[in-house]
Amino acid sequence: MAAVIPLCPGFLTIFLLCVAAQQADGSVSVGASLTATSNAKPWLSRSGEFAFGFQQLQGNNIFLLSIWYDEIPDKTIIWYPKDGPMVPRGSKVALIDGRGLVLTDPQGREVWTSVSSSDYIAYGLMNDTGNFVLVGRDSSTIIWDSFGNPADTMLPTQILAKGEKINSKTSRTNFSTGRFQLRLLEKGNLVLNTIDRFSGEASSDPYYDSQTDDDSNSTNSGEKVVFDETGYLYILKRNGQRFDLTPKYAVPSGEYYHRATLDSDGVFTQYYYPKNPKRNTSWEVVWLVPTNICQTGKGCGLNNVCTLDGNRPKCECPQGFSLLEPSYPNGDCDPDFVPSCDAGYVEEQFDLTELNNIDWPGSDYASIYPSNVESCKISCLKDCFCAVAIYRDSQCWKKQLPLSNGRKDPSKLVKAFLKFRKRDHRPEY
């Protein structure tokens, strides 16, 4: 039996004091590591308000490397690596000299790394601002920082420069890149775009535009987006003037946490949360854009229908369609039936389902005026190309799949007629 060698009490005390001192100022030594387990302790900022480490997602054996508010009950995540790689239990992140932060799975395969250069690192630091930084050997150079590589959120003291962007996540629990992007264009405009799911590139048709460019005088154009220490978000122009995003006097006075997040539903929202809540509370909204994303036609995916619920979009597939990705309600809807002009098309094999106050503007290939309800329906049934007919104000629009910009508005007197094959099952809407 191996002998047990007692550890010197004095040495143990000194060792623990050194570890405590290292963590007390938020610094992280080169060589330090964290492992994804249920009880893993994160690297904390000096104040203890921010933590860097692994969050377990919904009680599963799936973990996310992230930064979060550590002193509020829901541990709100404010940063994660690009594309939000979710990793299994036993994965590890280590601070390696010349490599930066390196995330590996339980088999040791590299999943993500912060720095690809060979710069020497003195230490890491979890700041009280929520910014995790890697400091160079000269102790004055920032080799990498989370503020410069944002996920879906901006925090006070953070700046978004021209050409930089933040992306939404796919859903509340899926941290891969979603459908929406916030960018500060080179001309100085802050815009919100959807992202093409195949190329990853932003569309050229923004659904929000700050209009802070000036071709006639570039000094009037936006230079950077600033989230200041007091909780106000604004675009700073080249001439030093401010274009306020946060409305004046909108930020509550007192001790609050603030964040601005491009949510998975495409709404860019500024929130606040009391640092010393007297009761159970939640993040409250200061400001958001757009106020009606359904009206922009960008709130939901193809063939989907957007309904405004408060200021947030609610997406539902219409009758005869189902979600392409069941865990992503804001995504595309897959039709149970696709109209075809193959030989043998017989209109008697088809019928139409009527839906009220729903439209997909811009998806039509033909229109009939004047028209009435019956002639609109008959025209769609006889037309092998027609998937949907929209009737409003004595006019009929015939549409093909896929349908885009879908929205439901009770104030609009619109009838939508969706074609289906009579033997097909028709789910309720």
What span, in angstroms and rounded, lies between the C-alpha atoms of 26 and 33?
14
Is residue 111 one of the residues assigned to a domain? yes
What span, in angstroms and rounded, lies between the C-alpha atoms of 427 and 335?
11
Is residue 365 one of the residues assigned to a domain? yes
Nearest to residue 298, comparing CAs of 379, 202, 373? 202
Task: Tokens for 12, please give them.
Answer: 């143990």
CATH number, domain of 379, equals: 3.50.4.10
Query: Same domain, yes or no, for 102 and 80?
Result: yes
Q: Is the pLDDT of residue 313 over 70?
A: yes
Is residue 312 one of the residues assigned to a domain? yes
Query: Same domain, yes or no, for 366 and 395?
Result: yes
> Between the CA atoms of 218, 224, 225 and 226, what dihedral angle is there, to the nearest 10 degrees?
-120
- Domain with 46, as residue range(s), is 21-146
Least confident of 75-79, 190-194, 280-284, 369-373: 280-284
Total domains in the chain come to 3
Residue 403, number of CB atoms within 10 A of its CB: 26
The answer for residues whose C-beta is within 8 angstroms of residue 333's C-beta and 6 or more apart is 301, 302, 303, 304, 317, 318, 321, 322, 323, 324
Q: Is the pLDDT of residue 12 over 60?
A: no
Provide the 3-class DSSP secondary structure of residue 6.
coil
Provide the 3-class DSSP secondary structure of residue 241.
coil
What span, in angstroms and rounded, lies between the C-alpha atoms of 387 and 210?
37
pLDDT digits (tens, 9 = 90+) for 264-278: 999 999 999 999 887
Query: Same domain, yes or no, for 280 and 402?
Result: no
Query: Same domain, yes or no, for 311 and 284?
Result: no
Confidence at residue 116, expressed as pLDDT on a 0 to 100 scale: 66
The answer for residues whose C-beta is within 8 angstroms of residue 47's C-beta and 6 or more apart is 128
Give 3-state DSSP helix, strand, coil % of the chain, rounded to 5.
10, 40, 50
Q: Give the end-to-end CA distance of the chain in Å, rounded to a whole number.
A: 72
Query: Same domain, yes or no, for 133 and 154?
Result: no
Least confident of 2-11, 58-67, 205-214: 2-11
Confidence at residue 196, expressed as pLDDT on a 0 to 100 scale: 85
Is residue 1 one of the residues assigned to a domain? no
Least confident of 2-11, 41-50, 323-332, 376-385: 2-11
Is residue 6 one of the residues assigned to a domain? no
Query: Same domain, yes or no, for 87 and 154?
Result: no
Task: Tokens for 359, please give them.
Answer: 């439209």
400, 363 Cβ separation under 8 angstroms: yes
Least confident of 6-10, 289-293, 294-298: 6-10
Is residue 192 one of the residues assigned to a domain? yes
Point out the domain boundary residue: 86, 118, 146.
146
Is residue 8 one of the residues assigned to a domain? no
- 425: confidence class by pLDDT, cuts 50, 70, 90: very low
Q: Say what the pTM is.
A: 0.89
Average pLDDT over residues 303-314: 92
Confidence at residue 9, expressed as pLDDT on a 0 to 100 scale: 42
Query: Same domain, yes or no, for 381 and 271?
Result: no
Beta bridge partners of 53: 66
Task: Tokens for 429, please give them.
Answer: 């809407």
Query: Same domain, yes or no, for 336 and 379?
Result: yes
Task: Tokens for 396, please give them.
Answer: 């009929």
Least confident of 18-22, 243-247, 269-273, 385-389: 18-22
At 357, give phi and psi (nearest 5°): 65, 25
pLDDT digits (tens, 9 = 90+) for 121-142: 999 999 999 999 999 988 778 9
Distance of CA 231 to the CA centre of its chain: 21
Q: Is the pLDDT of residue 230 over 90?
A: yes
**Which amino acid is present at 238?**
R
Higher pLDDT, 421 or 92: 92
Confidence at residue 71, expressed as pLDDT on a 0 to 100 scale: 94
CATH number, domain of 237, equals: 2.90.10.10
What is the bridge-based pairing of β-strands 50-56 and 43-44?
Answer: antiparallel
Is residue 14 one of the residues assigned to a domain? no
Confidence at residue 10, expressed as pLDDT on a 0 to 100 scale: 43
Burial of 31 (0-12, 13-18, 19+ CB in 10 A): exposed
At 296, give phi and psi (nearest 5°): -80, -15
Point out the domain boundary residue: 290, 324, 347.
290
399, 363 Cβ separation under 8 angstroms: yes
Confidence at residue 21, expressed as pLDDT on a 0 to 100 scale: 39
Burial of 378 (0-12, 13-18, 19+ CB in 10 A): middle
Query: Same domain, yes or no, for 283 and 154?
Result: yes
Point out the domain boundary residue: 146, 164, 199.
146
pLDDT digits (tens, 9 = 90+) for 37-75: 988 899 999 999 999 999 999 778 999 999 999 999 989
Mean pLDDT value across the chain: 89
Query: Same domain, yes or no, for 387 and 329?
Result: yes
Q: Is the pLDDT of residue 310 over 90?
A: no
Query: Same domain, yes or no, for 185 and 257?
Result: yes
Query: Same domain, yes or no, for 282 and 377?
Result: no
